[in-house]
């Protein structure tokens, strides 16, 4: 019954247009489903799924979970307004979101030869795979942009 209440709450938030920012796992929960610890249903607010970060790339073994700083490449959006693409953001994850619609991808980063989604957005729902609260001034600036969306 609690799950139903959560889905109803997010439907109301969607209908009211209240901005929501999911961070790390919070971003992944916005998707339709995840394959972490089996197949699990997500909130379905952004179509797509959560899959493991590839552990092999271009004939080399990749360490997963990925923990570290990466620069992100982003398209212009209200969430990324005035962000510096040359600075890094702090990531720690072993699963990644793969939206069905590329228009919902706001930013990506390169992990070895893999392009991984770093920021997503649809309507009033946004998600960051990285931790903006641990990413220095640009991370805090992104949070400020989010606060100023409404």
DSSP for 102-144, written as a single string: GGGEEEEEEETTEEEEEEEEETTEEEESS-GGGSHHHHHHHHH
Query: Could you tell me if residue 11 is inside a domain?
Result: no
| Backbone CA torsion sign across 127, 129, 135, 137 | negative
Query: Could you tell me if residue 7 is inside a domain?
Result: no
What is the per-residue pLDDT across 49-73, written as a single tens digit (0 to 9) for each?
Answer: 999 988 765 566 667 788 899 999 9
**24 catalytic per annotation:** yes
**133 catalytic per annotation:** yes
Query: Could you tell me if residue 5 is inside a domain?
Result: no
Query: Could you tell me if residue 122 is inside a domain?
Result: yes
Q: Which of 24, 49, 93, 128 is catalytic?
A: 24
**39 catalytic per annotation:** no
Confidence class of residue 81 from pLDDT cuts 50, 70 and 90? confident
Query: Could you tell me if residue 29 is inside a domain?
Result: yes
Tokens of 97: 């979101």
Residue range 128-136: mean pLDDT, rounded: 95
Residue range 35-51: mean pLDDT, rounded: 94
Query: Could you tell me if residue 96 is inside a domain?
Result: yes
Query: Could you tell me if residue 107 is inside a domain?
Result: yes
Tell me how far apart the alpha carbons of residues 123 and 24 are, in angstroms, rounded to a whole number.
19
- CATH number, domain of 129, equals 3.40.50.880
Count structural domains, the chain: 1
Domain carrying residue 27: 17-147
Query: Could you tell me if residue 92 is inside a domain?
Result: yes
């Amino acid at each position: 019954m609690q799950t139903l209440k959560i889905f109803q709450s997010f439907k109301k938030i969607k209908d009211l247009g209240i901005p929501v920012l999911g961070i790390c796992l919070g971003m992944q929960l916005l998707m339709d489903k995840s394959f972490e610890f089996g197949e699990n249903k997500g909130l379905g607010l952004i179509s797509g799924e959560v899959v493991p970060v590839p552990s092999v790339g271009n004939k080399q073994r990749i360490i997963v979970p990925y923990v570290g700083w990466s620069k992100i490449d982003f398209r212009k959006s209200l969430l990324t307004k005035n962000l510096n693409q040359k600075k890094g953001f702090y990531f720690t994850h072993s699963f990644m979101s793969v939206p069905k619609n590329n228009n919902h991808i706001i930013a990506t980063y390169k992990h070895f030869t893999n392009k991984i989604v770093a920021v997503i957005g649809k309507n009033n729902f946004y998600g960051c795979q990285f931790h903006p609260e641990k990413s220095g001034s640009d991370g805090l600036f992104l949070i400020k942009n989010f606060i100023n969306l409404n």
